[in-house]
Chain A
Amino acid sequence: MSARAVVGIGQEVAGDDGVGLAVLDELQRRDVPAGTRIIRLADPVDLVPLLESSAGERVVLVDAVLGSPAGAIVELSPEELSNQAPQPASSHGLGVARAIALARALSPDGAASRVRVVAVAIQAPGRYRAGLSPEVAAAVPRAADRVLRLLLG
């Protein structure tokens, strides 16, 4: 059985930005395949060493994306992510797409080339608050289903 990992990215205090972490909570309430690593990240740059060290592992990333309608779920490949409009790399970190691109450049045969991204659409968080909006909270079980299918598929 191949190794598996689910990575959630987000900040719990930034409202719907925390949806990736909420999906991890949901997965932990369910039966995930034995041995699946569940990893929480606040800074996408930490994806780089993670994806490098997880060569051979099936990795699914769960994150929020700005979009509408809120709660919609899309699945993206690394290519689809990198085909998005170019994002300037902040001097304060790397975005998820840049972090995956960097990991792929560093380890062309590593997990970064096969990572799948389950993205949940959110509206831009207007202020710091704990908890998800009703539309995004409703998407959490569906996103968890999608993650499980990818882990087992």
Chain B
Amino acid sequence: MSKRGPERTRTRTIQVDYLARVEGEGSLTIKLRGEEATEVRLSIFEPPRFFEALLRGRAYREAPDITSRICGICPVAYQMSACHALEDALGLRPTGALRELRRLLYAGEWIESHGLHVFLLHAPDFLGYPDAVAMAKDHGDRVKQGLRMKKAGNAIVALLGGREIHPINVRVGGFYRAPAKQELETLLPELRWGLGACAETLEWASGFDFPPLERDYECVALRHEREYPFNEGRVVSSRGLDLDVRDYDAHFVEEQVSHSNALRSRIRGGGAYLCGPLARFNLNADRLSPEIQRLAAGAGLTAPCRNPFKSILVRLVEMAHAFEEAIRIIEGYVPPDRPFLEAAPRAATGFGATEAPRGLLYHRYSIDEQGAILDAKIVPPTSQNQLAIEEDLFQLAGQLVRLPLGEATHRAEQAVRNHDPCISCATHFLKLQVERE
């Protein structure tokens, strides 16, 4: 990022060579002069993975399974965005039980992903432990509770998706097999327990000491006419954007920066924006059920929340929502007549965006009349948040300079973890430029 602030004499560099408790390989450099940051670089050196290129020429039916390999914890998100985009191209629109099963699957993934982040990765930051293993020695019951909640999410994905990691039961148009109601009902006792555990955990976490930071984010998320968004909605922002998913490319742009193997997104003609739990909550809190809204308010959380350190509370609120939604779907489930819809391929371009645990995940595919993929574009949440994360650190700089170096480094890492960045997902290139001497 560009230089800021007046020239001062005292400079200090905070260097984190290897960010722990984020996915993938990244490092962070902050250069401070006086009380201002002169440079913030979130460097992503996880190698590029070329998923968009390897999709070209593959049959459209393969896209959900290929793209799910981008990520081990949010494979459902990749499958869902791929399915929605390809169904848009084919003119398919799964409704009724198929749509409900997709929401159920997504609920499982949110529980799994948020559960891991809240209890094993983020809570140790607030309680002063280097990691979950150290935290477990003093807060064993809390860690066990978190693992049990996560397991309830895994169980949804395993039952509906065929297995916990990289589920195999999702296809364009629906599912290969729809479960019987009795199968889904076996999940209910743990889901009901999980909903109660969320409420109790939220009360616990609301007592954490949240470092002061108020950020004037432009929040971006899906917004649906009735629901808190998983799969569908318009792309909206807190500064007035309100778009059909088809218009995403006209308003958001990815750019390459030299210090990162991930493309970095910004709003065309504008700047950084935030997606993910905090943005979703700020734009959609009114779509949560009255019970979950009361839970949030009880934890002192009201929209808009501008302190990214409070994202741990938002994740717990979203977990509660996911538990509640999963219970509602299973209780009302009537199996579909057929587990999927089908259509003949046609030459078309399709667009899809869904809400991955970490935020908006956009897919676009062009296919030919045989259904072969001609072109693919995938924009994961971490690329979209990279600039906002760097700006958080710019604003945090005033606090960092007053802390001993070790504490400042920890606080800076914690600020990155606020956004649960998934560096492996973010690492992809449309073009690779090789420089040789």
Contacts and interface: CB of A to CB of B under 8 A. Distances in A.
B322 interface: no
Interface string A87-116: 011111110001001100111000000000
A89 B420 contact: no
A102 B133 CA distance: 5
Nearest to B122: A91
A141 interface: no
Given A43-B165, A105-B137, A88 B19 contact: yes
B69 A89 contact: no
Nearest to B19: A88
B71 interface: yes
A88 B21 contact: yes
A12 B130 CA distance: 34
Contacts of A93: 72-73, 116
Q: Interface extent on B, as a size class?
A: 35 or more
Query: Secondary structure of the A side of the interface?
Result: loop
A48 interface: yes
A91 B121 contact: yes
Interface string A11-53: 1000000000000000000000000000000110110110010
Interface string B98-130: 000000000000000000110011000000000
Contacts of A45: 116, 147, 150
B71 A92 contact: yes
A88 B20 contact: yes
B140 A105 contact: yes
A63 to B, nearest CB: 15
Contacts of B72: 92-93
Contacts of B132: 89, 94, 98, 102
B154 interface: yes
B355 interface: no
B164 A43 contact: yes
B319 to A, nearest CB: 16
A106 B144 contact: yes
A42 B21 CA distance: 20
A92 B23 contact: yes
Interface in B126-182: 131-134, 136-137, 140, 143-144, 147-148, 150-151, 154, 163-165
Given A91-B422, A105-B136, 18 more contacts: A43-B154, A45-B147, A46-B151, A88-B19, A88-B22, A89-B20, A89-B131, A90-B23, A91-B73, A91-B116, A91-B117, A91-B421, A92-B23, A98-B131, A101-B133, A102-B132, A105-B133, A105-B137
Interface of A: 11, 42-43, 45-46, 48-49, 52, 88-94, 98, 101-102, 105-107, 128
